[in-house]
Structure 1
Amino acid sequence: MHQFLPYAWFGGRCVPFAEATLSVATHALHYGTGAFGGMRALPNPSDPAEILLFRADRHTRRLSQSARLLLTELAEETIHDAIVTFLRANKPTCPIYLRPFVYTSDLGIAPRLHNIETDFLIYGLELGDYLSPEGVSCRISSWTRQEDRSLPLRGKISGAYITSSLAKTEAVKSGFDEALLLNSRGKVSEASGMNLFIVRDGVLITPGVDQDILEGITRASVLELAQAMGIPTLERPVDKSELFVADEVFLSGTAAKVTPVRRVETTDMPGHRPVMTAIRERLTAITEGRDSAYDHWVTRIRVDG
């Protein structure tokens, strides 16, 4: 049962969550013509009246770019200001997940993006670990990751997540925690809502942006951190068979954070994960405001005023 925050940003202002409702005829509900973001925030462990937002600038930029893919304009400053107002209204006391969403709000039946109204909302919920920090089991999905030529994968377009939903449920119903999707060329793309990394001979490897992945913000952060920590990195195509012989396999995402993969299909992965562990510990310190070298990745918002 989700514990939603008491207020949502809806119609250009904060309203009680229960009052943030949409018509059954809303265009985005029928055609998936929306785009969303996902952001984590938590009270500063040393000052609970200060909320820490991880890489807020990157998240607002990606959502603004996603809106452009829907042929609408949503300025980064508009998103940022709404998030600040939203957090000050809710005054969260535990780690939360924010879901900003831009969508076609018209009441119509024609699938289109021209001559149509759009709107923007934010809601949030309390969220600890989305996936077990001890590790997850994964299966290779029978569903194929979409291609960028069929829909714009550079944005988090809501309609694209039907494939993720099918893959996730297929995995869970067949006894696994998570799904790994191959692209149309048979290369590993990503999980249902996370990017994927493997480690081979000390090199951190992840599918590149040419493999129909979402350009994950946590993914980019992991790569940047690894390079700063002296860990060699490669962005290249990953074959399915590489998953079974890798020294480490892990997932990354805003909700998932950094989560180890303990089993792929029937193959158990090594339990010793020095590269992932070092990166996860560093990333945790950054998100909690304990790493001054990366303080610029954290936006601090006071909610006691």
Structure 2
Amino acid sequence: MDTFLKYAYFEHQFIPFEDAKLSVATHALHYGTAAFGGLRGIPNPQNPNEILLFRLERHCQRLSQSAKFLHHDLPADKIYQIIIDFVKKNKPNQSFYIRPLVYSSGLGIAPRLHNIEKNFLVYGLEMGEYLSPSGIKCRISSWYRQEDRSFPLRGKITGAYITSALAKTEAVESGFDEAILMNSQGKVCEATGMNIFMVRNGQIITPGFEQDILEGITRDSVLTLAKDLGITVVERPIDKTELFIADEVFLCGTAAKIAPVYQIENFKLSEERPIATKLREKLTAITQNEDPKYKDWVNVIPLD
């Protein structure tokens, strides 16, 4: 069972999590007219009276952009300050996950974005490993990723995640840990809540934005780290069969961090994962504020 942080930000104030409740008639519940973010936080290993948040500014920026698709003006700096206050209010003492959500809070029944109240909330929960760091097995989903021409894929819009839910359950119920979705062109797109990478001949290859992927923040971090480590990065369409013969395949996301894949369908992949391991170790050191080169990626929040 999830352990939620004690306080939530709800209807412009901090209240006990269990008191943050919505009406059954809430518009976002019926029509998916909401957008969310997600970021991890940990107590500073060097100072337990500080919390470390990874790339907070970028997360706030993306959620602010997502809100625009809902016809709502939610400035990134406002999100930023509320999340800082949220952390200070809760004083978490172990690894946790923050979920901010902008949503249509009005009680109307017509699917629309105009003339309806919008609101913003934040809650959090304790979170360890989302996927096994030792490796997972994936199947190719029978469900396909939406297209940008019919859905605003550059926003984390809640309605889009029915596809992820269908694909994830299909994968788990057929004996796998995670699903890999193809796009409408039959090219590899992403997992149910993570971006995907493969390694072939020493190069990292990943689908580009034109492949209907989410503009992942962890993805951006991985690309930056790989280039800084001197690893060649190629963004291009990927065929399904390339995954089966790749030297390495791994997923990345805020919750999953970097999760190596050891099997896709009935194809076993190598247990040697030098690039994924190097990137995971590097990313872990950065999130723990142990790498001065990337200190601007980490926000240090004093609790006192």
TM-score, scaled to structure 1:
0.99
Match of 1:117 in 2: 117
Match of 1:175 in 2: 175
CA distance in 2, matches of 1:159, 1:303: 35
Offset, 1:82:
0.5
Offset, 1:12:
1.0
Match of 1:225 in 2: 225
Aligned pairs for 1:188-267 (under 5 A) are 188-267=188-267
Please give the secondary structure, in 1, of the residue aligned with 2:131: coil
Aligned pairs for 1:1-305 (under 5 A) are 1-304=1-304
CA distance in 2, matches of 1:98, 1:160: 20
| TM-superposition CA deviations, 1:100-146 (whole Å, max 9, x none) | 00000000100000011000000000000000011111000000000
CA distance in 1, matches of 2:35, 2:194: 16
Offset, 1:194:
0.3
Please give the secondary structure, in 2, of the residue aligned with 1:108: coil
Letter in 2 for 1:284: T
CA distance in 2, matches of 1:116, 1:300: 37
The root-mean-square deviation of aligned C-alpha atoms, in Å, is: 0.4
Offset, 1:303:
1.1
Number of residue-to-residue matches in the alignment: 304
| TM-superposition CA deviations, 1:33-68 (whole Å, max 9, x none) | 000001000110000111100000110000000000
CA distance in 1, matches of 2:289, 2:161: 32
Runs of 4+ in 1 over 6 A off after TM superposition: none
Letter in 1 for 2:209: V
| TM-superposition CA deviations, 1:255-304 (whole Å, max 9, x none) | 00000001000011100001111111000000001000000000111112
Please give the secondary structure, in 1, of the residue aligned with 2:186: coil
Structure 2: unaligned runs, 5 residues or longer: none
